[in-house]
Structure 1
């Protein structure tokens, strides 16, 4: 999603002061720390199922 936002913003989205650039950088770092969204869902789903029982 953040990559698409950068493309929509064009060159202004690549400037370090632009919010789109900030969010893209944060998302990239968090995906390295936390894993991909698919991996997170696979880890969290069993925990949620246990909570609902």
Structure 2
């Protein structure tokens, strides 16, 4: 969800020229990538695959 928010914020910032909004959008996208990576590590450690088994 954060990635979508980041994309929307960056798009709006590009249209309006708002640097702070663009930075916020980038931060949201980075946060989403980090959460995804941490989730993958957790799944690997607990033996879960992508289907949740």
TM-score, normalized by length of structure 1?
0.41
Higher relative contact order (CA 8 A, sep 6+): 2
Structure index of larger Rg: 1
TM-score, normalized by length of structure 2?
0.41
